[in-house]
Amino acid sequence: MKTAEQMHAIVRRKYGTPDVLAYEVIERPVPGDEDVLVQVHAAGASIGDYIIVTGKPYLIRLTPFGGIPRPRNPVPGACMAGRVAAVGAKVTTYRLGDEVFGQAVTGAFAEYLVVPAKLIAPKPTNLSFEEAAAVPWAVAALQGLRDAGGLKAGQRLLINGASGGVGTWAVQIAKALGAHVTAVCSTRNVDMVRGLGADEVVDCTKKDFIDGGPRFDVFFDTVGNRSLSDCRSVLTPEGAYVSCSGGNSGAAWLFRLAALRWASVFTRQKLRALFTTPNRDDLLFLKGLVEVGQLKPVIERRYPLSEVGSALRHVGGRRSQGQTVIQIAG
């Protein structure tokens, strides 16, 4: 039985498979001067959350998401949507009851979350809390295409892994930016990806997207299942390759990062690994696109808070379609 100062949360005190997660009653967090306390109505479960829980690749433990020798924050989870329950002394942008969404460093798999006010924005008015909790994933797609890739209207874009949590957003954002989009996915996802606006869809089980030679201005790779030389072969001489996945292991990710930096020395092509920076301005930009109907979340599965472990096992299998959402408050 929890008290008014407590909450239910998913807790892990060591790294490991989702089996290390426990559904517990813990103390409710208290916001600092520049923070907001959010009553979380829904949270997102992504491959990033799976990586943070497992602590692999090990480099993740050196970031704010991790900790050594054990997790710095016992409650995982980042993307969320909910209502403001309290504000810090220096916060003037939000009031009690405001509906918000955003991405914290950690702590979203809980009934309440403390997050810096600069990392949240007003919830899109045309989305439910569950739908809004999936939108912060789109920040990775936006920053990968617009910033790292320099995507411009009229350019030709290839998206490898267009049906996943980031890929589904990338297809829609690229169309909003005016690009011609070729999307790569498996057979079961072809119709869904085409429905998101892709101009061409390549079924990777039937055709190799490498065939055809240099023809893309930007290649956005969410899978990392092809060699760097293969990926570069489809780019124009000054095209951009943006990787937000190095493969299925920590060693592969580190190798990919090193290969990108080394190859960049010898080519005019832009070869970059994506490192996202959550911020309010990008959330507001995405909110605007959502509210005019240019972006919409693709939610494949919903789980209650007590079953976050099952949700992470699903997304950790890297076969998810769109986003997976955790239902927390009504």
pLDDT tens sequence across 184-218 = 999 999 999 999 999 999 999 999 999 998 999 99
How does pLDDT run across 96-126, given as a tens digit for each residue?
Answer: 999 999 999 999 999 999 999 999 999 999 9
Supply the DSSP string of 128-148, one letter for each residue: -HHHHHHGGGHHHHHIIIIII
Nearest in space to 121 (alpha carbons), one of 45, 30, 33, 38:
38
Nearest in space to 110 (alpha carbons), one of 17, 34, 1, 37:
37
Predicted confidence band of residue 132 (pLDDT cuts 50, 70, 90): very high
Predicted confidence band of residue 30 (pLDDT cuts 50, 70, 90): very high
Predicted confidence band of residue 252 (pLDDT cuts 50, 70, 90): low
Give pLDDT, residue 60: 81
Structural domains in the chain, CATH included, are: 6-127+299-327 (3.90.180.10), 138-273 (3.40.50.720)
Give pLDDT, residue 213: 87
Q: To 5 degrees, how large is the angle CA 165–CA 199–CA 163?
A: 15
Give pLDDT, residue 260: 79
Asked whether the predicted pLDDT for residue 254 surpasses 70, the reply is no
**Interval 17-30 mean pLDDT:** 97
Q: How many CB atoms lie within 10 A of CB 251?
A: 13
Using DSSP, state whether 316 is helix, strand or coil: helix
Residues 172 and 145 sit within 8 Å (Cβ to Cβ): no
